[in-house]
Structure 1
């Protein structure tokens, strides 16, 4: 089956995370199945032997009922206990492994380069963390656990029946392995395409549903609401068609396993009849043999569902694997010598998808407490410089050193939570007095005090309920709560009206006293609160001067 190679790294991750628990789960599942077969066979033997012994007084008196009865009770207890521990161990191990995979996957998607791609399709991460990771649990629970139990059952049945007649035991093992494994593998091959269609259709249906719910206002205004509903309906029909194909394959596979089981059972009845006629075995042993064959097919039937989902599991592995293979950990930059906030020497940086350097042999020294404006056109390298200082983009150079920094991006990130919850992201141990002080410094103190619920006021998704200026002030208040000595602000007043922008900048300048402040901007008003100006073009600094060296007209030339 195509794509099975994608499962090997996932299996390595599974058995690397919880090797003992996963192997123990397979062993306990095997004990459960063998105990069930043993219980069925011994019970049949005991009932048959007891009936025959009761035909005469002499045999009834001499018949030992205690040992078989004790064996039946023991097997019943073993089956119950092992079934409980099978569920406990296998599901606990699986959930632990999947939790580890989710964390690792989230960390990889949180990397700057991946997060940039993710912004284009934000629903993708949700599907990877939920649907794709959930699909991987069937690889262990529905494939490897029943397969291990099935192989052990075939071996047990072969040995038990081989003791009665060697060729009989060998034939049963061959049929069990050939048909019991062959039919599920054939089902896996046949269902691969339909299962992949179902997985992709389900993802499309969820994405379109999210778009319909979240963007219904925009869709209605654009006259696209009916078209979106039609697209959602098409995705639903696509999934339904895939489900019909899968149901047909599953029914055929179940029917095939049932036919093989019935044929094997019929053949076993004929064989034990011959053995009884020859005197090789008696009636109780014959009953034991038939019941062993009857129970031996159970774990092979359990493989059917896992085989049906193998295509979806392979697709999930292919999606998750690239992010699992990359294990890059972001590290804090070294601290520069005393008196310096930033120290770069011949630093270059580029993004993974671009061969051209975003920063080219940049050297920069910024003293503690300086307020510096980084000015330049869009794409000149301002944001890349900030990402280097935050440790989000790997850089090469003689020295890359900076004090711990906090970045206020151009895009205001607020969450569907209370005002308090959004602020506590910056300082989890802050009390209400600290939060209100930060809000007051950002110009939101009076507004929050006027709200009925105050800090407990609930915001909608993306900060819904606040105006653009209020959202920016809330983000600024969150910055004020941090204790980082270096503040980086990327276009802090972009999109704000003139009066709001001037007020935000005045409050920022006042609160930034004693801290190092770097502002990336193309606006004159943002650069006005800084004493030093750095011009950057095509990833390299072209000018560096203070406002004392030039007049404001020359200093801010080219800025809006």
Structure 2
């Protein structure tokens, strides 16, 4: 996806779901700016007119102080209300869009091909969900809204000054638009490279810091601990250099806009003084024009930071944009045509991305309803690849896969820093508390649940911290129970568990898998003993199959690890 396509993808997401609030926020921002200009201009006119009227008793008695006073109070209240409303509306709309962006980005990386690529560098997903998404709030809050309000203020200020003198209005409006928009545009170009370097340096700094914290033992044993510290310091230096460059650019924008404001103010002062001297306008009107010019440049100052960070924002757009419209390229797995068949593989061949050797080669397998299959073989034989192909997580390059809906129980137990309920409903978002309690009881966690002070609302730490390995595995089993699929694919379900816990997990799996088709990848005897058929794999091929009760079945079973 090109840069323009990525920008359109992000902009369409902002626009599609929150256009009314986004427009309302921009209009409220413009209203705030206009109320500020009108308030200062009217105040200057009122003070000047009051001072002149007080020179004589007749003019003092004839001067109406109530209408301007009411206007000043109204504008002050309107400015406060519009500012408050603008902050509420714009931030609410932006935060909602960013939340949806995170969800879409997570789903975009969850498709089969992207998920495998991301597994090699999991920190990248974290940076995309945090740094890059956070950078996108500048697109609306610091670029589009200030741009709209500043341009609107320049036009309105030009119209107001045009009623005083058409030449003054046109010249002031053109000057404001040229300088007020040109300077931030130039700043955005100058800060593009430093902003990109800053984004990259920040990502490198965080990644290296995480590596240092998590790999202290390995780095110390390899004698690389000091080298890692130096690498972190180098990334920090690059980050500081990028920050300095961006700050210098922002300072230059502030100085340039300040000079431009002073030039405009001096021009209005000279031109207004000349008009007043000729009698074309009164002194209060000249003061009004001067104060309009004084406040007309202020809205452009809000563009400073947005322009400086535009490079970072566009970098984030290019990174996340392609994944927003990503579609899972995994073909849908159809149900088998044959009656009483749950799984049917016909001569499938599959290759891991970046590998030249196929993980599966000409594999054919047919599994009936309710049949239990144990897939055995040495590490690297293709057992996990076979389950991944059945689950639709590996795309075959040849052959055909058909299967009833399945759920994959992986070797790793993935738990999140969330409540117990939050970790369970990942399997079935529509689950009610009664179903969650039943699933936990089925997994043997009812006693644990009874001891937890907050029950289902108990928070788990990162990766399920607070639970033992066996409890975490049982929690994953509870999710498996909640996922009511006719085919269960289990990848070494008791690996790393003690004998008692492993036997209990196997027994519970066997009990709750009744009536379901079960395919278990294993090299442990206890996991294969309940199988109706054993399939032995090597080098991505099925070399042997044996049914229960045969001598070959017993021979294959005896060759497995006892525990």
TM-score by length of 2: 0.84
Q: 1:19 to 1:397 in 2, by over 3 A?
A: farther
Residue 443 of structure 2 contacts residue 508 of structure 2 at CA under 8 Å; is this kept in 1? no
> Which segment is superposed worse, 181-190 or 524-533?
524-533
Structure 2 match to 1:139: 139
Kindly state the Cα deviation for residue 380 of structure 1 after the two structures are TM-superposed: 6.4
Residue 537 of structure 2 contacts residue 543 of structure 2 at CA under 8 Å; is this kept in 1? yes
> Which segment is superposed worse, 125-134 or 227-236?
227-236
Kindly state the Cα deviation for residue 196 of structure 1 after the two structures are TM-superposed: 1.2
Q: Secondary structure at the match of 2:164?
A: coil
Kindly state the Cα deviation for residue 445 of structure 1 after the two structures are TM-superposed: 9.7
1:157 counterpart = 2:173: no
Q: Secondary structure at the match of 1:517?
A: strand
Structure 1 match to 2:194: 194
Kindly state the Cα deviation for residue 376 of structure 1 after the two structures are TM-superposed: 5.8
1:167 counterpart = 2:167: yes
Q: 1:509 to 1:72 in 2, by over 3 A?
A: closer
1-structure distance, mates of 2:436, 2:476: 17
1:114 counterpart = 2:114: yes
The superposition leaves residues 147-185 of structure 1 with CA deviations (integer Å, 9 ceiling, x where unpaired) of: 111111111111111122211111111211111111111
Alignment of 1:175-190 (within 5 A): 175-190=175-190
The superposition leaves residues 109-139 of structure 1 with CA deviations (integer Å, 9 ceiling, x where unpaired) of: 1223222222222221111111111111111
Q: 1:399 to 1:210 in 2, by over 3 A?
A: closer
Kindly state the Cα deviation for residue 431 of structure 1 after the two structures are TM-superposed: 7.9
Q: Secondary structure at the match of 1:119?
A: helix
Count residues in correspondence: 555
Could you list the runs of 5+ residues in structure 1 that have no partner in the other structure? none
Structure 1 match to 2:246: 246
Structure 2 match to 1:371: 372
Q: 1:167 to 1:418 in 2, by over 3 A?
A: closer
Structure 2 match to 1:410: 411
> Which segment is superposed worse, 216-225 or 162-171?
216-225
Structure 2 match to 1:48: 48
The superposition leaves residues 4-29 of structure 1 with CA deviations (integer Å, 9 ceiling, x where unpaired) of: 77533322221122112112211111
Residue 348 of structure 2 contacts residue 397 of structure 2 at CA under 8 Å; is this kept in 1? yes
Structure 2 match to 1:71: 71
Kindly state the Cα deviation for residue 225 of structure 1 after the two structures are TM-superposed: 2.5
2-structure distance, mates of 1:46, 1:328: 66
> Which segment is superposed worse, 267-276 or 408-417?
408-417
Structure 2 match to 1:222: 222
Kindly state the Cα deviation for residue 255 of structure 1 after the two structures are TM-superposed: 0.8
> Which segment is superposed worse, 383-392 or 397-406?
397-406
Structure 1 match to 2:341: 340
Could you list the runs of 5+ residues in structure 2 that have no partner in the other structure? none
The superposition leaves residues 388-425 of structure 1 with CA deviations (integer Å, 9 ceiling, x where unpaired) of: 43344567999865344332223343456788986776
1:486 counterpart = 2:494: no
1-structure distance, mates of 2:454, 2:11: 51
Structure 2 match to 1:125: 125
Structure 2 match to 1:546: 547
Structure 2 match to 1:231: 231
Kindly state the Cα deviation for residue 293 of structure 1 after the two structures are TM-superposed: 0.3
Residue 420 of structure 1 contacts residue 435 of structure 1 at CA under 8 Å; is this kept in 2? no
2-structure distance, mates of 1:527, 1:122: 33
Residue 532 of structure 2 contacts residue 548 of structure 2 at CA under 8 Å; is this kept in 1? yes
2-structure distance, mates of 1:533, 1:172: 85
Residue 532 of structure 1 contacts residue 547 of structure 1 at CA under 8 Å; is this kept in 2? yes
Kindly state the Cα deviation for residue 296 of structure 1 after the two structures are TM-superposed: 0.2
Residue 330 of structure 2 contacts residue 393 of structure 2 at CA under 8 Å; is this kept in 1? yes
Alignment of 1:421-432 (within 5 A): 429=433
Residue 370 of structure 1 contacts residue 516 of structure 1 at CA under 8 Å; is this kept in 2? yes
Structure 1 match to 2:324: 324
2-structure distance, mates of 1:458, 1:293: 57
2-structure distance, mates of 1:14, 1:85: 19
Q: 1:258 to 1:244 in 2, by over 3 A?
A: same
Structure 2 match to 1:29: 29
The superposition leaves residues 206-232 of structure 1 with CA deviations (integer Å, 9 ceiling, x where unpaired) of: 112222222223333333322222222
Q: 1:353 to 1:73 in 2, by over 3 A?
A: farther
Kindly state the Cα deviation for residue 367 of structure 1 after the two structures are TM-superposed: 1.8
The superposition leaves residues 71-120 of structure 1 with CA deviations (integer Å, 9 ceiling, x where unpaired) of: 22222222111111111111111111111111100111122322222222
1-structure distance, mates of 2:504, 2:41: 85
1-structure distance, mates of 2:101, 2:90: 16
Q: Secondary structure at the match of 1:326?
A: coil
Residue 112 of structure 2 contacts residue 330 of structure 2 at CA under 8 Å; is this kept in 1? no
> Which segment is superposed worse, 231-240 or 263-272?
231-240
> Which segment is superposed worse, 285-294 or 8-17?
8-17
Kindly state the Cα deviation for residue 386 of structure 1 after the two structures are TM-superposed: 2.6
2-structure distance, mates of 1:424, 1:303: 44
Alignment of 1:372-411 (within 5 A): 372-375=373-376, 382-393=383-394, 401-411=402-412
2-structure distance, mates of 1:333, 1:5: 31
Residue 195 of structure 1 contacts residue 242 of structure 1 at CA under 8 Å; is this kept in 2? yes
> Which segment is superposed worse, 523-532 or 56-65?
523-532
The superposition leaves residues 50-85 of structure 1 with CA deviations (integer Å, 9 ceiling, x where unpaired) of: 111222222222222222222222222221111111
2-structure distance, mates of 1:473, 1:93: 40
